[in-house]
A and B are shown apart, each in its own frame.
Chain A
Amino acid sequence: MAKFRIKRYNPEKQAEPYYEEFDYDIPEGATLLDCLNHLKWNVDGTLTYRMSCRSAICGSCAMKGNGHALLACQKQAAHLLKDGSDTITIEPLGNMPVIKDLATDFQQFWDKVDQVKPYLQNKEKPPERERQQSPQQFRKIDDATTCIMCGACYSDCNVLEVDKNFLGPAALAKAQRFVGDSRDQATRDRIKELSKPGGMWDCTHCGECVERCPKPAEPFYRIKELMAVGLEEGVTNNVGARHALSFVKSVKHSGRLNESKIPIESMGYFNIKGLLDLVPVGLRMLLKMKIPPIIHKPIDDAKDVRRIFEEFGE
């Protein structure tokens, strides 16, 4: 018998949220959504959440299971019973106001998607037939286009917890879908917009959104691709990028951020693999006196870091 500990909230009845426990013997092969449906249809009809496709393609059923955002329809309920525990904690997505139980208000999420001008911009008159695009060009946006707008990444993004103005991972992934599209002609304008405060440079590279994303969209990788384009385009007149300059200097020197030069409190989390991917681009830019990306936590072994830089031949 498993316990479903569900965070309930219904402002029509009670001002504060509370947890309620339901016992249910998880049938073999049941997803978390199957279990919730069982509870709603047989035990408590007031239990509220969204769902539609139940095949991980519509993005309706994102919620938190044991503290992390996931799609209820994609998760085998039994897999949430880790380490001999008999309890699964279900909560609404984070970084959004709750409407009722597990249904959250997506308004801000969509507003931010709107902000990145989420449509193809191409002023030329289209040809009679299709515009040409090679398979290689298609591949550049293939991953970003798999996003189902479920909000799982948005829920668990650490920057959004402290800065509501941050565009957030999904909107940035959507932006990459156009920046990377060989048919889009607004790359420079887009990058300029994305380089403003609240844009791509505010991402702390924690990689949480990659962990949470149920699709290959994996926003942080898309953000890195945006940053690379930003550097190539030389759109660097912004705070984030200026931090970045001192960062690469100090890392190359000591393997560490120089904390007196870079206000460490504006950063937080760290993804070394992700950042090292960017190093070659960053260094190239530095040499051209353009400005490289940002990184956040000190690195233990300065020698290794220097060696990495050397291997890149920079």
Chain B
Amino acid sequence: MIKHDVLIVGAGLAGMRAALEVCKDLDVGLLTKVYPSRSHSGAAQGGIAASLGNSEDDSWEEHMFDTIKGGDYLSDQDAVEEYVKAAPKVIYELEHMGCTFSRTEDGKIAQRSFGGHSKPRACFSADRTGHAILHALHEQVLKNAKSIKIYSEWYMHQLIVEDGRCGGVVVSNIRTGEVEVIHAKAVVFATGGYGRVFQITTNAFAGTADGAIAAFRAGIPLEDSEFVQFHPSGLYRQGILFSEAARGEGGYLLNGKGERFMEQYAPSRMELAPRDIVARAEQSEIDAGRGVDGKDIIHLDLRHLGEARIMERLPQIRQLGIDFIGVDCVTDPLPIQPSAHYSMGGIPTDMFGQVVIDEKGTPMKGFFAAGECACVSVHGANRLGTNSLLEATVFGERTGRSALKYARNAEFSKVNESHEKARVLNQVEEIFQRDGSESYNDIRNEMKEVMMAKCGVFRDAEKLKSCIATIQDLKERYKKGKVTDKGQLFNTELYEIIELGNMLEMAEIISTAALARQESRGGHFRTDFPKRDDKDFLKHSLVSRNESGMELKYKPVVITRYQPKERTY
């Protein structure tokens, strides 16, 4: 059995930032199913928010208000306050660690504007901010190799919980297939988002809900899962993100008839309206049969900007189009469509990263979570751009501190190693024994399609009910899938099957929570309940599973400074 004082699962921004706190005093295991530098945080382009005021006066109060308004008043305001106040300090820390930021002429960290923020507060490193931070943190983790042991390409299967306390995780080494128990005084989950549940997503293949589902299966409810953000400009079919900058520079959105349809939806802001509004407008056009060539395509047209301007301001976007779909935006419009981008919900935690297991805030001892897999909740019903890199960093640090404090005074709990191992070994054996009458690829595709079509940008009761029924059916078919690789060595097929099992569970949770929320708020839009309903739904959902199926509970939203108002831009 492997032992660490603290075991962190996930080595993106949240996981590595947490590791750097814990390693100040205790020994840390840092486990990730890809190499740390391959975590999806690296894909973030736009920036990380903080009210540094480097280019215009700014304050944490304004950052707080923008975040709460952006979240359609579902954010817990006490947590938001801590979060925005901590922002400048964590940015300076990143800078001191060596993170490269783009600079102003006088040598300060440069800041630019971003959707939903009233001030230019996005700190950035050219068009690869996540990459710059991820690598800076990775460098620090390598520097602290004495106290941080990295397990790259290891997969976390299950959480070990006994007597209401978390004692470790069951994992396997992807390369050798060996199953191990890692015994820890405290466990931190930083496993990222789950956009892969949807057909079209900006998320990496690794974004499969493993962490959220491991917690869920250990009896922890998931919070606000119905809130998924759709980004207006994912590449057609692929979902690869074209940053907001394309519209910021003056790009047009055109439907199949060549019309700038945003005139119908947001005549004053046009293409620059907030993300959820633009995504809904695009989807409306597609649903009305006005997609390009009758397909799910909207055109992002940059041709009128001319080659010089495109090369100066949007070189990366041009390259993406050429590499990934063979379209040069200088001569042709880019095919895009709304793409699942960010998961606002997740494992419920308090504002110190401590996981809580019910609506009363009862803590699960020894278990912490941070980053996109967690729901603190600072983003409420809709996250503003640049706020999630900040969340991963701020709450990575705070959660690391909490885990450190907890583990310092805790003993290792008792863990039944052979029993825990057997649970995973049996699961793998069971997968190998399935009768093979179904194709996992079909199941995965059908799940993604139904989630996109019925639990996507527009939802209603009928669609959601049919979505849930389909997912339940797929779960049955999943038990009969066909495996071709039964080896131990680097069996990526096996891990994809396990991930699919997690995603099917997540899909059911998302659609169940979406069906229960009979209102429209932030990223969740119900055509049968198109208005926000503060009287009945100004509350967080909590989904768990009991003997008879999914169970829904709610907990109140913490409101301190800003009373809910209508969200208009």
Proximity bits, A120-156, B CB within 8 Å = 1, else 0: 1000001011111111011001100110110000000
State the majority secondary structure of interface residues on A. loop
Which residues on the B side are within 8 Å of A10 (C-beta)?
487, 489
B204 touching A45, Cβ below 8 Å:
no
B485 touching A45, Cβ below 8 Å:
yes
Q: Which of B265-273, B322-330, B560-568 forms part of the interface with chain A?
A: B322-330
Proximity bits, B135-163, A CB within 8 Å = 1, else 0: 10001101101000000000000000000
- Interface residues contributed by chain B, number (CB under 8 Å): 62
Give CA–CA (A138, B124) in the complex, Å.
12
Which residues on the A side are within 8 Å of B35 (C-beta)?
60, 106, 149
Proximity bits, A26-51, B CB within 8 Å = 1, else 0: 00110100000000111011101111
- Decide yes or no whether A13 CB sits under 8 A from chain B: yes
B441 touching A133, Cβ below 8 Å:
no
Which residues on the A side are within 8 Å of B206 (C-beta)?
52
A12 touching B135, Cβ below 8 Å:
no
B131 touching A148, Cβ below 8 Å:
yes
Give CA–CA (A106, B52) in the complex, Å.
39
Question: Which of A13, A51, A74, A149 lies in contact with B323, CB distance below 8 A?
Answer: A74
Give CA–CA (A138, B489) in the complex, Å.
43
- Decide yes or no whether A100 CB sits under 8 A from chain B: yes
A100 touching B107, Cβ below 8 Å:
no
Closest chain-B Cβ to A298's Cβ sits at a distance in Å of 38
- Decide yes or no whether A54 CB sits under 8 A from chain B: yes
B490 touching A103, Cβ below 8 Å:
yes
- B182-208: which have CB < 8 Å to A? 204-206
- Decide yes or no whether A229 CB sits under 8 A from chain B: no
Which residues on the A side are within 8 Å of B274 (C-beta)?
none
Give CA–CA (A60, B101) in the complex, Å.
25
Closest chain-B Cβ to A119's Cβ sits at a distance in Å of 4
- Decide yes or no whether A86 CB sits under 8 A from chain B: no
- Decide yes or no whether B535 CB sits under 8 A from chain A: no
- Decide yes or no whether B7 CB sits under 8 A from chain A: no
Closest chain-B Cβ to A184's Cβ sits at a distance in Å of 8
Given contacts A11-B489, A45-B485, A58-B42, contact A119 B100 (CB under 8 A): no
A55 touching B241, Cβ below 8 Å:
yes
Which residues on the B side are within 8 Å of A275 (C-beta)?
none
- Decide yes or no whether A114 CB sits under 8 A from chain B: yes
B487 touching A46, Cβ below 8 Å:
yes
Give CA–CA (A134, B143) in the complex, Å.
26
Give CA–CA (A132, B325) in the complex, Å.
40
- Decide yes or no whether A53 CB sits under 8 A from chain B: yes
Chain A positions near chain B (C-beta within 8 angstroms): 10-13, 28-29, 31, 40-42, 44-46, 48-60, 73-76, 78, 99-100, 103, 106, 113-114, 118-120, 126, 128-135, 137-138, 141-142, 145-146, 148-149, 178, 181, 183-184
Add 14 more A-B contacts to A46-B487, A73-B324, A130-B101 (CB < 8 A).
A46-B485, A48-B492, A50-B492, A52-B206, A54-B204, A56-B323, A57-B43, A58-B42, A129-B52, A129-B108, A138-B101, A149-B37, A181-B98, A183-B98
Leading 8 A-B pairs by shortest Cβ distance: A120-B98, A132-B107, A45-B484, A41-B441, A119-B139, A126-B96, A58-B38, A46-B485
30 contacts between A and B (CB under 8 A): A41-B444, A45-B483, A48-B485, A50-B492, A52-B205, A53-B42, A53-B204, A54-B238, A55-B320, A55-B324, A56-B323, A57-B42, A57-B128, A58-B34, A58-B39, A59-B38, A73-B324, A99-B490, A100-B489, A118-B142, A119-B97, A120-B139, A130-B91, A130-B95, A134-B107, A138-B102, A146-B131, A148-B37, A148-B131, A183-B98
